[in-house]
Amino acid sequence: MLGLKQIGGRLAQLIFVLWAVATILFLIFRLMPGNPLAAYIDPTFTEEQQLILMAKFGLDRPLWEQYFIYLWNLLQGELGDSFFYRQPVFDRVLELLPNTLILTFSSLIVAYAFGIIAGAWLAWRRGGLAERVAIPIVLTTRALPEFWLGMLLLAIFSFSLGWFPAGGTRSPGEEYSSLFALYSSTDFLAHLVLPAATLAIYSQGLPLLLMRSNMLDVMGEDFVTMARIKGLSSWTVVVRHAARNALLPVVTSFAIAVGYQIQGNVVVETVFSWPGLGRELVNAVSASDYPLAQGAFLMIAIVVVLMNLLADLLYSLLDPRISHA
């Protein structure tokens, strides 16, 4: 089981990593060529606005002082104002986070459901024709450029067949009274299908291969042999005895997959014009909207770091043999 000390140690590591990532980001954005004020101040801001921002971020102070002001502001969720939207970056980023999370989780849940079942089935059918055909196909899905898969699905199912809308989260002219009304509408779901399918096809390989190899390990163990000797049917053995035990590490990998997916979302969100954090980052960087780019990057990094921590903790919780040194 997890001791308090281990959790404390992991939390300290989490804070260290977040601090390091924030510092790297500070260095990149302040040392970039051109006007050092550009990280927060757009030349089109009024003089009054500029003065307020100068004071808020200490832009007239030496760099090391700016650094501490930056960290202090971060702790309070103060990320500056977006040049383009003229609104606090923090609000904008929080607004987009649900879209990214919905896309990520819906695609991963589908990918894991499929991957776990298919992986167990392939382990059961080990050494057969199914395995020889399926494994190279699965490896190929891992080699797909995600954005290209998205383009292909878009061309086939949207432009050629017309089954699904081509991008965004809602059809033009559609208005919803609340976010919940939007997210539960069929219009939203129709927009979600293609980007989620793209990510799911790409992601199912990890749980599938993991489930298969865990199953193969477990099926060699004594209690499975015992169940076979008891005369249980082979599918019962697979599902009741082997799959249950093989499932734990796959579940743990879900957290890591969320972290990876959030990074990879950048391209798929762009292909489908999905208003999430990744697309916002791309747009902000292209438009030199530095505060927004910084905010979107930090938010993605926070999700990644939290998911890494969650995976670690789950791992040692589920398998007491792993200890945290």
Hey, how many other C-beta atoms are within 10 angstroms of the C-beta on 271?
A: 21
Regarding 296 and contact with another protein (CB under 8 A), the answer is yes
What is the three-class DSSP state of 248? helix
Read off the tokens for 21. Answer: 């990532």
Beta carbon nearer to another protein, 18 or 182: 18
Q: Please identify, among the stretches 64-72, 97-105, 106-114, 258-266, the one whose residues bind another protein according to the rule CB under 8 A.
A: 258-266
Q: Are 83 and 283 in contact (CB under 8 A)?
A: no
One of 131, 282, 310, 324 touching another protein (CB under 8 A): 282
Regarding 271 and contact with another protein (CB under 8 A), the answer is yes
Q: How far apart are CA 184 and CA 196, in angstroms?
A: 16
Regarding 143 and contact with another protein (CB under 8 A), the answer is yes
List 69's β-bridge partners, or say none. Answer: none
Q: How far apart are CA 36 and CA 98, in angstroms?
A: 33
One of 62, 136, 162, 173 touching another protein (CB under 8 A): 136
Using CB atoms within 10 A of its CB, is residue 56 exposed (0-12), middle (13-18) or buried (19+)?
middle
**Which of the 8 DSSP states describes residue 38?**
G
Nearest distance in Å: CB 289, another protein: 11
Query: Quick one: angle between helices 290-318 and 89-124, nearest 10?
Result: 40
Beta carbon nearer to another protein, 232 or 285: 285
One of 35, 177, 178, 286 touching another protein (CB under 8 A): 286
Regarding 82 and contact with another protein (CB under 8 A), the answer is no
Residues of this chain that bind another protein (CB under 8 A): 13, 16-18, 20-21, 24-25, 28, 32-33, 126, 136, 139-140, 142-149, 151-152, 154-155, 158-160, 166, 213, 216, 262-264, 266-267, 270-271, 278, 281-282, 285-286, 293, 296-297, 300-301, 304-305, 308
